Structure 1
Amino acid sequence: MRTMDADVVVIGGGATGAGVVRDVAMRGYSAVLLDKADLGQGTTGRYHGLLHSGGRYVVSDPESATECAEENEIVTRIHADAVEKTGGLFVVTPDDPMEFSDQWTEGATKAKVPWTEISVAEALRREPRLNPGLKRAFAVQDGTVDGWQMVWGAAHSAEDHGAQVLTYTEVTEIIREGDQVTAVVAHDLKKDEQVRISTRFVINTAGPWAGRIADLVGCHDVEVVPGRGIMIAMNHRLVNTVVNRCIYPADGDILVPVHTVSIIGTTDVKADDPQRLAVPRNEVQQMLDSGEALIPGFRDSRAVHAWAGARPLFKDKRVAATDTRHMSRGMSILDHGTRDGVNGIVSIIGGKLTTYRLMAKNVVDVMCEQLGDDRPCTTDKEAVPGSTEGHTYVITHRLHDNEVARAKHLKTTPNKTPSRAAIDDQIICECELMSRKMLTDLLAEQPDSTFDDLRRQLRLGMGPCQGGFCSMRATGVALEEGAVDVERATGLLRLFLKNRWIGLWPILYGEQVRQTALDDWIFQGTFDVEHLPVPESEVEL
């Protein structure tokens, strides 16, 4: 058994966990973050990409609305490379009740969410595809954020401050001496070894799995309800602004432009297991119908991927919520010392991706108070690595960088054998403009990553072809670079394709059937990928 020591162990590598380990490290504590999978593989990576202005909750949850409005500015500043300042619209469609818009403006003003009413003509000028029958429109400060880039930015910042981040390391035991937590035991799934971390404090940020972590320490009354929501990515940006229906939060009432696609969402249904989330076909149809209310002809666009995420909603027994849609999105901090008689552990549940930094600050403040330390939070003062120049994301940034590199190469080495620089600048994924060097650099940094791990950081295979062309190129590059052997390369490719196909089955209609059939012919017909040698077990991947 490998042994380690840390002042604080953070369990859960989503946005909240990454924010907590960064906050803890910046306050001078030694810290270790543990996650049973990759960073951002759970709820954080399974949402629609919205950086909230707060407008969505001004009527249903005004406290959360105010928090979102305040944190929007901070996240944009410290995570500039992950944020696109799209702006947002709340619109009253022909099918929506006019009277709610008055409640919305009153709520937005009270919640201190900035808004401006604009004419319908101005809304249609900004977004020509919108329903021409709109009755009213409001401009807000919504944006979009790449959740994975945000999480990795926070994680790298934490590492710069001395923290350790251990992925694919599943917590199996939390050890107590009497009423005090003293250590965490975890299983390194890739090295197949046990790790014991002696610690002063544990912060449970496991999202939908937070109740299971609390069970390990004997706190059995932590009920976390997974609120399953599905989302669908369409094959291009139907809008360049976040567009919301001005109604009480409902299914399919928002369309978000993220990178090269548009994402519509979302449903809200109680799930039994956050590990197994269905994407029912009837809910897919519901999303497509909802898209038509915002963008006439929405169904004519090609849906390229569907997925589901689980909101971690804390079941407060004092509130009689009838369904997950009406459970609060606010954060809940559980002090297990006063609540359950177990010291040295707190849990944080709920909240929004937009408020992840505030959630981290609040829960670490609780820890500092319990430890008797006076160490203020400074996470709002320092940008994460990659965002220090303050330039927010623009959709053309990779195109510009790659075209500059190509032009420079052609000017300096005309009609010659391609240089190493030219090879590095080769585009492996046209949809997301991922270069060979971006892939090889990350492979060198994280040699035991799966292609899905790389996808979460590089967006490999997330465009219209869904990996049909770029995945085999990436496999060839990994093999050529010596990062993997033949069997592992095939195993990684098959696992990647399997996970891409999970999001294709629910949307096989129209032009997407043609694209999927082409991909199938490539991999089954040309490569016979199902019959190539692979590692004996997926653990080796």
Structure 2
Amino acid sequence: MALDTDVLVVGGGATGAGTARDLALRGCDVALVDRDGLAHGTTGRSHGLLHSGARYAEADETGAEECIAENRIVSDIAGACVRETGGLFVQLADDDPAYFDAKRDACEDIGIPVEFVDGDDAREAIPGLSADVERAMRVPDAVVSPSRLVAANVHAAVEQGATVHSNAPVEGVRVENGEIVGVAVGGAVDETVRPEIVVNATGAWAGELAAMAGATVEMRPTRGLMISVDHAGLETVLNRSREPGDGDIIVPHEREAVLGTTSVTVDDPDEFERADWERERVREECAAMYPAVADAARVREWWGVRPLYEPDEAERGGRGISRGFFLLDHAEEGVENFLSVVGGKLTTYRLMAEAAADAVCDRLGIDEPCRTAETELPGADDPARLDEFVADLGGPGPSDSDVVGE
């Protein structure tokens, strides 16, 4: 038996769930499948930062503009998925002051709200901040619950008629006459899906799905460690104002603080080393900003895998600061009805989904605008309802397991 649908979205992280929601709101017949639990890949293993764009301001103006715009949109539509903490970029004694100045100037040019504070004022606002902090700038960073965000998007898609399946791995793709004509989905589905269009939203695994269709997506997955420690009282995201490095961010939860992160290229996003030096480095570097976390008891730790797009990384070289996204049309490779959306970050998930949905609707001849920026997510004003959505999908990932259900 085969299942027919207008669009098959593969990948149940934020981008895939957002794409399914967007398409369903435009009246498309959509099916979403993921090989594991929804939001259990990169999305559910992030540090949960809703970027203001300040992190990218001096190196990637477009990416920073996208972040501040999407930060505001997600804050408006996602309600209790977001905690408005604010953020602080701190310059320590050994950090290059020119980098701080360039970041502040770039934020002002882009329109990212930024407020300069000296070290004493920063320590007065955040007790326990390092004595080595010479100056800082406030920016509108926030903290987002990935599990709630994905669950709300999935619920919205289902409300509009989409079908969603977790534990449903793609096991094969059949291409005939330059088009995907069948996708074998195992697990909970165990059927062949016959879509008009396939959207590859599998993140770090995008190359694997593309290869099944005879197409190519070059990814450079990199692992990053997050350590959640027992520490209440920190209310603001802390960022190190320096070139990207290990242990340069602390994300506050209500009773914990998440320390991150590292960046190490891996060959396989499923099987990779977890190294002790990462634990030591993250602790040491985060403690340089906020000494209380040096000896705070570890609650849990997890590694996530970033879905970096290899051509963009190669062009920038080294540990690039940009996390732009790319929509790839595989018609150029002879697969007419196959799109991949890659790169990006959790903050820009909705924008990535909009780009993918625009391309799909153009192909299908659907003349309906995107409404996701103005349409509030279900449960946005009710944390308990959001947590019910998360429970329905199998529970939270490690990024926010201390937040969901509280």
TM range (shorter): over 0.9
> Where does 1:290-309 land on structure 2 (aligned, <5 Å)?
290-309=285-304
Superposed displacement of residue 369, structure 1 = 2.1
Q: Could you say which residue in structure 2 is the equivalent of 1:335?
A: 329
Distance 2:115 2:289 in 1: 20
Q: Could you say which residue in structure 1 is the equivalent of 2:247?
A: 252
Q: Structure 2 length normalisation: TM-score?
A: 0.93
Contact 1:90 1:243 in 2 (8 A): yes
Q: Could you say which residue in structure 2 is the equivalent of 1:385?
A: 378
> Where does 1:194-233 land on structure 2 (aligned, <5 Å)?
194-219=190-215, 221-233=216-228
More helix by share: 1
Distance 2:361 2:310 in 1: 26
Go from structure 1 to structure 2 and tell me whether the alpha carbon gap of 1:442 and 1:181 turns closer, same or farther (over 3 Å shift). closer
Superposed displacement of residue 442, structure 1 = 7.9
Matched, 1:114 2:113: yes
Matched, 1:237 2:232: yes
Q: Could you say which residue in structure 2 is the equivalent of 1:415?
A: none
Distance 1:458 1:85 in 2: 17
Match of 2:66, SS state, is helix
Q: Could you say which residue in structure 1 is the equivalent of 2:338?
A: 345
Distance 1:265 1:319 in 2: 24
Identity rate of aligned residues, in percent? Answer: 36
Match of 2:169, SS state, is strand
Distance 1:251 1:81 in 2: 30
Q: Could you say which residue in structure 1 is the equivalent of 2:143?
A: 144
Contact 2:20 2:157 in 1 (8 A): yes
Superposed displacement of residue 372, structure 1 = 3.1
Structure 2, unmatched stretches of 5+, are: none
Q: Could you say which residue in structure 1 is the equivalent of 2:305?
A: 310
Superposed displacement of residue 237, structure 1 = 3.0
Q: Could you say which residue in structure 2 is the equivalent of 1:273?
A: 268
Distance 1:327 1:66 in 2: 14
> Where does 1:26-175 land on structure 2 (aligned, <5 Å)?
26-175=25-174
Match of 1:349, SS state, is strand
Distance 2:396 2:149 in 1: 14
Contact 2:250 2:258 in 1 (8 A): yes
Structure 1, unmatched stretches of 5+, are: 402-437, 447-452, 464-541
* 1:296-344 deviation line (CA, Å, top 9, x unaligned): 2432211221211111111117944443x2274100110011x212111
* 1:370-406 deviation line (CA, Å, top 9, x unaligned): 333322100011111111x4x7x7xxxx8xx9xxxxx
Superposed displacement of residue 95, structure 1 = 2.4
Partner of residue 262 from structure 1, selected from 257, 266, 273 = 257
The code of the aligned residue for 1:454 comes to G
The code of the aligned residue for 2:334 comes to G
Contact 1:210 1:347 in 2 (8 A): yes
Range that drifts further, 64-73 or 171-180: 171-180
Match of 1:300, SS state, is coil
Contact 1:6 1:30 in 2 (8 A): yes
* 1:487-541 deviation line (CA, Å, top 9, x unaligned): xxxxxxxxxxxxxxxxxxxxxxxxxxxxxxxxxxxxxxxxxxxxxxxxxxxxxxx
Q: Structure 1 length normalisation: TM-score?
A: 0.71
* 1:399-422 deviation line (CA, Å, top 9, x unaligned): xx9xxxxxxxxxxxxxxxxxxxxx
Distance 1:49 1:459 in 2: 8
Go from structure 1 to structure 2 and tell me whether the alpha carbon gap of 1:140 and 1:173 turns closer, same or farther (over 3 Å shift). same
Superposed displacement of residue 78, structure 1 = 1.1
The code of the aligned residue for 1:351 comes to G
The code of the aligned residue for 2:341 comes to I
Distance 2:203 2:273 in 1: 18
Distance 2:297 2:148 in 1: 26
Contact 2:390 2:396 in 1 (8 A): no
Distance 1:293 1:166 in 2: 44
The code of the aligned residue for 2:86 comes to G
Distance 2:253 2:313 in 1: 38
Superposed displacement of residue 11, structure 1 = 0.2
More strand by share: 2
Contact 1:56 1:65 in 2 (8 A): yes
The code of the aligned residue for 2:261 comes to T
Contact 1:225 1:312 in 2 (8 A): yes
Distance 2:66 2:310 in 1: 21
Superposed displacement of residue 347, structure 1 = 0.2
The code of the aligned residue for 2:320 comes to H
* 1:268-322 deviation line (CA, Å, top 9, x unaligned): 1101111124321111100111022111243221122121111111111794444
Match of 1:213, SS state, is helix
* 1:100-159 deviation line (CA, Å, top 9, x unaligned): 111111221233222111233332122111012321111110000010110001000000
The code of the aligned residue for 2:395 comes to L
Go from structure 1 to structure 2 and tell me whether the alpha carbon gap of 1:304 and 1:442 turns closer, same or farther (over 3 Å shift). closer
Match of 1:33, SS state, is strand
Go from structure 1 to structure 2 and tell me whether the alpha carbon gap of 1:442 and 1:334 turns closer, same or farther (over 3 Å shift). closer
Contact 1:333 1:363 in 2 (8 A): yes
Superposed displacement of residue 5, structure 1 = 1.6
Partner of residue 320 from structure 2, selected from 318, 326, 337 = 326
Match of 1:135, SS state, is strand
Contact 1:57 1:249 in 2 (8 A): no
Match of 1:59, SS state, is coil
Contact 1:16 1:205 in 2 (8 A): yes
RMSD between superposed Cα atoms in Å: 2.5
Distance 2:230 2:395 in 1: 21
Distance 2:82 2:312 in 1: 36
Give every structure 1 segment of 4 or more consecutive aligned residues whose post-TM-superposition deviation is greater than 3 Å: 317-323, 455-460
Distance 1:78 1:98 in 2: 37
Q: Could you say which residue in structure 2 is the equivalent of 1:454?
A: 395
Aligned pair count reads 404
Go from structure 1 to structure 2 and tell me whether the alpha carbon gap of 1:197 and 1:144 turns closer, same or farther (over 3 Å shift). same
Contact 1:13 1:34 in 2 (8 A): yes
Which gives a bigger RCO, structure 1 or 2 (Cα 8 Å, sep 6+)? 2
